[in-house]
Structure 1
């Protein structure tokens, strides 16, 4: 066999190996996406069937977990607007500072989450250190390191109820526009759940 033929055969063999690996990765991604869609569908049904005994915080916790799993984020939080104090309150947190950060408050407008709540706009920030909206106060207070984030508003009938933010994508990858779209879907689900819970509470009064 000539050197040229051997080289071609080796290239084809390597290309086949590469394609097989890509196919396996695509199959795994399809399985993951199907699981995510099923989970989101289940959460949507739960949100629509909220009743007076429903623990809304547990539901929001499950919604946040589904969001982080879907975009492979290491940490994240769901903050709600306190209209009386004009603050954002961390009501559900996942990740390294979960137990310590719940209940912490920040002023509306502070940091990227505060900006998103004020402007009702979604953002993807690959490197928070280069974004002038970023505030390191929470990181410093809780000994945390935010590298990158994606943050979306929770909006219902034109009213900003809060924000969902995902921090530090696994394997130090960057968040993408598809991640932003997925988080927006989850935020809509959270908005429907919160609005439904408010409606149920008002009907009881």
Structure 2
């Protein structure tokens, strides 16, 4: 009798501890709106809760049937180097997505359907896969891995499903927050960043370039004769030009470069760690791509697109001061206009604003 009471007391204490752990996990995952911090908190908490030495969290994009790795721990660089992958038909992930429930494998080598070479090469022998579902939508998947076969505590797996609900809600809130922040710094028409964000980003990146002695370039573009274009063809057609401009800029620049709609028909591209001669090449590609892109966008309405005049300036080639660099590129753009438009204008060596 006493032994049963002792067992019952131990079981109760174990449940209370598990619930306390769960509350701590819940606090961790809802304490921030930064998406990457949320995902790392989910992973760290879940690994501690399930007592696994490794794991990862991937966000799920339903339309593409694609997963994107965002947080990981205890795994080799080779294993996590693939940041995006599509769902394999018949695999574990597809089963979890279809069922919407926690799935666990206590010994991968004894599971006939599981044949992922990369998982076996990593030495993973047992695994828990947890769908992170909010309002009937799978936000992501949580993988908890161990390198030995093991039996998982069923009680903890049940509590893990409660953690998954908190985690999915936290991901939803963080994603919404990120989208809202992005909207505040994005130009709605072109999809480029806006003037307000340019001022912040320009100062930040120029400061970084000076601090680490890295080159830094800025390109300024302005649509030629845009006022007369709008007067001739109307503002709706003018908007089509600006949308095509945004697309052409995004398609031309590298992922580390950033494009902005500075105002009206004026655009800026910031190129970190880029010297003047490389920036000039980018500017020439932009000039051609804008002409081709706007021609394509207006096909059926007008026989040709628009041209742009471009100024290019660089640190430290032209100046080592932030305000001077902006004034120089602005002046170079004005000179490109003055000298016939549809040109890229730049100068070698140190310059002063106003040239």
TM-score between the two structures when normalised by the length of structure 2: 0.43
- Cα deviation code 1:86-131 (max 9, x no counterpart): 2222211111326851653332145313431243232121112232
Counterpart of 2:45 (choices 66, 74, 93) is 66
CA contact (8 A) 1:73 1:168 kept: yes
- How many angstroms apart in 2 are the aligned matches of 1:202 and 1:108? 25
- How many angstroms apart in 1 are the aligned matches of 2:132 and 2:19? 24
- How many angstroms apart in 2 are the aligned matches of 1:29 and 1:168? 22
SS of the residue corresponding to residue 46 of structure 1 reads coil
The alpha carbon displacement at 1:39 in A equals 2.1
Partner in structure 2 of residue 105 of structure 1: 84
Report whether the alignment pairs 1:168 with 2:146: yes
- How many angstroms apart in 2 are the aligned matches of 1:108 and 1:193? 24
SS of the residue corresponding to residue 122 of structure 2 reads coil
Matched ranges for 1:137-156 at <5 A: 137-139=117-119, 143-156=121-134
Report whether the alignment pairs 1:189 with 2:174: no
CA contact (8 A) 1:79 1:91 kept: yes
TM-score between the two structures when normalised by the length of structure 1: 0.70
- How many angstroms apart in 2 are the aligned matches of 1:104 and 1:202? 21
Counterpart of 1:136 (choices 90, 93, 116) is 116
More helix by share: 1
CA contact (8 A) 2:103 2:129 kept: yes
CA 1:169/1:36 → structure 2, altered by over 3 Å: closer, same or farther?
farther
- How many angstroms apart in 2 are the aligned matches of 1:95 and 1:124? 19
CA contact (8 A) 1:89 1:104 kept: yes
SS of the residue corresponding to residue 73 of structure 1 reads coil
CA RMSD of aligned residues (A): 3.4
CA contact (8 A) 1:161 1:191 kept: yes
Partner in structure 2 of residue 85 of structure 1: 64
- How many angstroms apart in 1 are the aligned matches of 2:144 and 2:86? 19
- How many angstroms apart in 2 are the aligned matches of 1:184 and 1:138? 27
- How many angstroms apart in 1 are the aligned matches of 2:77 and 2:136? 30
CA 1:190/1:41 → structure 2, altered by over 3 Å: closer, same or farther?
closer
SS of the residue corresponding to residue 134 of structure 1 reads coil
The alpha carbon displacement at 1:29 in A equals 5.4
- How many angstroms apart in 1 are the aligned matches of 2:157 and 2:130? 8
User: What is the count of residue pairs matched by the alignment?
Assistant: 179
CA 1:41/1:154 → structure 2, altered by over 3 Å: closer, same or farther?
closer
The alpha carbon displacement at 1:84 in A equals 4.8
